Amino acid sequence: MCLALCLRPTGVCLNTLRRRPNILTVAIASVFGISFAANAQVEREFSGSIDSQIGVMPHAHTFMQPLPIGKPGRGNGDTQTSCKGCNKEAMYKAFIASRGQQDKAVQMLADTPSDTDILDNNFDIEINPAVAFISGSNTMTLASTVNGLTQFTFRLRSANATVANGYTISSVVINGTTTLPGTAVTTVGTYGRSVTLDRAYNIGEQFTVKVNYSGTPVSVGFGSFVIGATAMNNLPFACNLSEPYYSASVWPVKDGENAQAGDNSDKSTATISITAPSAYKSVSNGVLQSITPVAGGKNKTTWRTNIPTASYLFCFAIHAYNVYDYTYNYPLPSGGTGSMPFQINI
């Protein structure tokens, strides 16, 4: 087992728990979070039975109170519009339609309300906390949920008529073989970027899309990308907070459109690799896989999470952390105790 704890230099934190039978990891991101849900009164058609996960179900024809309309985070260059949700409405209705039975079909409806299902992200970026610049790529593994899929839309903040500043896409690689120039990517909405696939894909068929990009990040929303120096030691740091729509302000992802009701509940596993000067520690989601020296006095730190995670919850923090290593002892179900390393980065 391994337990890693990281505190953002800003001092604003929120636990994100990742648990597997033999691995326990805690990553710290940010304290701010908003849940956007539908403003609708819905009749719940339950039978009053007891569910092992949520307790006593309401009796048939119980009316739920309307859920509040949320407001998106706002930032420089973003259209300030209201919104009603990030697919929470679809999840809510799917749960009701299933009479409280969270079977696989209902989970798929809630998790993949679009023509693709994101299965995995492979983020590979380089950041120097002393310089506001990001370069790298994300390789997305996806499955088609429709027949005849020929287009894929991802999100990335790029300079256009409505968005100031952003990233430049140098190329897009489909299935590791078909390379498209960045100019082949078309704009859809505000953050939407669309590419033509190498062929038509039918339901269940998988493909990969690798987006190579670089540029100067802009902090939007609640602070989707923060860079600066800490008040405690005046050393550089960089971190991100993508809730609720701003993951695309850091890296290319499948996500809902900025400030619109979207599908950012579609979850995936991920590998997150961060290359930074070796003086800094890079902390992210999941379990630490490796720290590899890179030419130029840098380290490439790779993390992996096999817990399906929404795009806005992928995060990182880079700083010259003080590292404290401990051993955590815990009781075993069969009796006795087990132990695991426990590391705190502050």
Contacts for 78-82 with beta carbons within 8 Å, 24 or more apart?
A: 78/163, 78/190, 78/220, 78/258, 78/259, 79/162, 79/190, 79/258, 79/259, 80/259, 81/259, 81/260
Least confident of 140-144, 146-150, 177-181, 253-257: 253-257
Model pLDDT, residue 91: 54
235, 229 contact by CB (below 8 A): yes
State how far the alpha carbon of 74 is from the alpha carbons of 42, 61, 128, 174, 300, in Å: 30, 38, 26, 33, 32
Model pLDDT, residue 31: 26
Residues ≥6 apart with Cβ < 8 Å to 46:
57, 58, 59, 60, 62, 99, 100
- Whole-angstrom Cα distance, residue 162 to residue 220? 14
Greater pLDDT, 51 or 228: 228
pTM of the complete model beyond 0.85: no
Residue with tokens 């380089």: 126
End-to-end CA distance of the chain: 21
Model pLDDT, residue 289: 94
Greater pLDDT, 106 or 147: 147
Instruction: Please give the single-letter amino acid code of residue 31.
Output: V
At 17, list the tokens: 């728990």
Task: Report residue 188's pLDDT band, with 50, 70 and 90 as the boundaries.
Answer: confident
| Tens of pLDDT, residues 253-269 | 998 776 665 567 788 99
Model pLDDT, residue 52: 35
* Planar angle of CA 329, 273, 187, nearest 5 degrees: 135
Chain center to CA of 148:
27
Instruction: Calculate what percentage of the chain has a pLDDT beyond 90.
Output: 44
* Planar angle of CA 264, 287, 304, nearest 5 degrees: 50
CATH architecture of 3-34+112-326: Sandwich (2.60)
Backbone angles phi, psi at 216, to 5 degrees: -95, 115
- 104-131: average pLDDT: 78
Task: Report residue 69's pLDDT band, with 50, 70 and 90 as the boundaries.
Answer: very low
Residue with tokens 């952390």: 321
Task: Provide the mean pLDDT of the chain.
Answer: 74
- Whole-angstrom Cα distance, residue 183 to residue 125? 21
Nearest Cα neighbor of 9 from 218, 223, 233, 216 is: 233
Residue with tokens 């409505």: 162
